[in-house]
A = this chain, B = another copy of it.
Amino acid sequence: MSKRGYHHGNLRQALVEATLSLIEEKGPQGFTLSEAAKAVDVTPAAVYRHFSGREELIAEVARQGYEIFTALMDFAYDNGKPSALAAFEATGRAYLAFARKYPGHYQAMFESGIPITSNPDLAMIAARATAVLEEAARALSANIPPEKRPPPAMFAAHIWAMSHGVVELFTRGNPGARSPFAAEDLLEAGIGIYLRGLGLLPQDR
């Protein structure tokens, strides 16, 4: 690519981006530290100036993924505007959009097998991400008739689980991928039915 001198300039971030591409191509377990080094035209030993090893590279990709993810969800939620319900549905769509648009980050975050607890920074930003989801659920939950109001954390978990399941099964050529439905439609319909079950949508629309 571009010629460079002895010093790279921004090797750390360049490595992160190479890792990202490698994950997109071959999955989080499908590449080696040496490949990442080669991708940015650097000796494997140079990687150790910035990361303790392959795991930490992936963890950094995941961290940056959570950063984007949180911002995106926050933006979609938009402080509950125009309504708690509409904002909530927007976060559902945003989840799927994130998985589609940032598949490498998504895999590093949710499919790499690296524990969020392996890194304090990672744990913190991951917690912030779930906080956004739960805040959306909490706001919405005010509209639910109290006698059938589940804990907000619970229905945040439901929506998260369904979204994640749709991504894993009906995206990227996986087991159910030959489904006749687009993942987006599937998720939208599923969330709609679920919210109706909570009494948040009219029964017979």
Question: Contact residues of A with B, CB < 8 Å?
Answer: 27, 29-30, 109-111, 113, 115-116, 126, 130, 147-148, 150-151, 153-155, 157-158, 160-166, 168-170, 173-176, 179-181, 186-187, 189-190, 192-199, 201, 203-204
Checking B109, B113, B168 against A110 with a beta-carbon cut-off of 8 angstroms, the contacting residue is: B168
Secondary structure dominating the interface of A: helix
Given contacts A115-B173, A179-B153, A204-B147, contact A158 B193 (CB under 8 A): yes
Q: Which of A130, A151, A175 is the most central at the interface, judged by chain B CB atoms within 10 Å of its CB?
A: A175
Checking B150, B153, B165, B197 against A197 with a beta-carbon cut-off of 8 angstroms, the contacting residue is: B197
- Return chain B residues, CB-CB under 8 Å to A204: 147-148
A154 to B116, CA, bound (A): 33
Whether B158 pairs with A186 at a CB distance below 8 angstroms is yes
Checking B27, B153, B165, B179 against A168 with a beta-carbon cut-off of 8 angstroms, the contacting residue is: B165
Whether A158 pairs with B189 at a CB distance below 8 angstroms is yes
Between A and B, 10 residue pairs with Cβ closer than 8 Å are A111-B111, A116-B175, A148-B204, A150-B189, A157-B170, A157-B186, A157-B190, A160-B176, A193-B198, A194-B197
Query: Which residue of chain B has its CB nearest to the CB of A163?
Result: B165
A141 to chain B, nearest CB (A): 13
